[in-house]
A = this chain, B = another copy of it.
Amino acid sequence: MAETETNEDEAFGITDRLVSEVLDAVGRGDGAYLSQVLDPMHPADVAHLLEQVDTRDRRALLITWPGGLEGEILSELDEELRQEVIEQLAPAELADAVRDLESDDVVDLVEYLDDAQQEAVLDALDATDRIVVEQALTYPEESAGRHMQSELVRAPDHWTVGEAIDYLRSDVVLPEQFYHIILVDPRLKATGYVTLGRILSHPRDTLLRDITEDTFRTFHVAQDVEEVAQAINHYHMITAPVVDDDDRIVGVITIDDAMMFLEEEAEEDILRLAGVGEGSLSDRVIATTKRRFPWLAVNLVTAIFASLVISMFEETIAGLVALAVLMPIVASMGGNAGTQSLTVAVRALATRDLTTANVWRVIKREVLVGLINGLIFAVVMAIVGVVWFGSPMLGVVIAVAMVINMVVAGLAGTVIPVVLEKIGVDPALASGAFVTTVTDVVGFFAFLGLAAIWLL
């Protein structure tokens, strides 16, 4: 039977009913039921189930379930939760769990552990694996070296298809999953790769070097792993070979890991743009509160700044209260237009579509878009002003302020992220506060200032 997922409530293998049945079993201490349900499940599904329940239930489940935690489930867990679960495991259990993981998954698990736990895990590995993991930990966080899988299949570049097949059929230890054989010269320098499909479809006497892929390219251990992931996506690669300073092959980044890195990157950008920072759904109240607080604090400063602008015009407002009624509209439209521009700019920077080659064109476009939309909404608001408050001059004031603010929004929404990126600040993180400050200040100042001159 095909496994279809048409039910909206059904997240992969995990239905709401399954979650409550599992929790019932945990409640009555029914370990046999848990084994029966959880043991055959895909580790990603077990992890997903653990993410759905709260901390207390999660602890109880892990105690009641006799099967216990495989390493692969740990690897699939959200980082925050993983930390929580690992703390609950005895060092021996933890060591047991990680023994069968690929090297990159072990690195992923141990990089944020405290020294005692890290030691316990490393002790559980055999000597070769331990060296590989320790080596990976010497590379910078977020580098290709830190996240590569060292398990790979390489062959001398003078081999034939037949020699490669015989080698693979010998009792050599192969990675769980591999899709290429990487060719190396006598100095272990990577010179190309061959897909398994080509090996299988060519006669035994074909030279491997005659059937390599022409998309072959290598990445340096120190390179940012997100860049490698972007290249994997851009060039439709399945395996990205990672080389050291001497161009010797030391590992690979695989497409499934690349997919995860790109997902994380997009997710981070979304959350940063919204002022949420990192964090996941399974974080607890205090952690979430703390994480959101700084963004709100920045917003408060911004808002007070805007209020200072308003307070410069207290007399103007006292003279015509309609201004207080209408002023949030100008600021709000500018803020929205600015957010539109900055979001497009931030994403285009992240995906490398916005470059020095086209930045002026994009700025020009955003300003023009702001101008045109500004003119349209200016007309609308002028009419609203006249109809609502019966003052044509008030209509003119709000119209002119609207145009000014929306042009500024287009400009600030593009220039601010670009400048932040240039000076090395993450534009997703900081653009919002700057752009909103600009549109609030300009909006209130233009509207109230023009009103002070033209209306009173």
Contact = CB atoms under 8 A, between A and B. Distances in A.
Interface string A289-307: 1001101110110111011
Given A328-B331, A336-B295, A361 B6 contact: no
Contacts of A233: 256, 259-260, 263
Interface stretch (A29-37, A85-93, A273-281): A273-281
Contacts of A455: none
A293 B373 contact: yes
Nearest to A165: B200
A445 interface: no
Given A238-B256, A266-B267, A296-B336, A343 B197 contact: no
A28 interface: no
A215 interface: yes
Interface string A425-456: 00000000000000010000000000000000
Interface stretch (A62-70, A123-131, A173-181): A173-181
Contacts of A197: 168, 174-175, 177-179, 196
Given A12-B234, A51-B353, A266-B263, A372 B289 contact: yes
A121 to B, nearest CB: 22
B373 A285 contact: no
A292 B201 contact: no
A255 interface: yes
B304 A329 contact: yes
A347 B271 contact: yes
Given A197-B178, A328-B306, A373-B292, A355 B270 contact: no
B292 A200 contact: no
Given A219-B4, A259-B233, A267-B347, A275 B339 contact: yes
A285 B223 contact: no
16 contacts: A168-B200, A200-B200, A270-B347, A271-B344, A273-B274, A275-B340, A276-B343, A285-B372, A288-B369, A289-B372, A292-B337, A292-B340, A297-B377, A318-B318, A328-B331, A332-B440
Given A42-B235, A177-B195, A317-B321, 12 more contacts: A1-B247, A5-B223, A5-B231, A11-B352, A174-B197, A196-B200, A274-B343, A280-B353, A297-B377, A299-B333, A317-B324, A328-B440
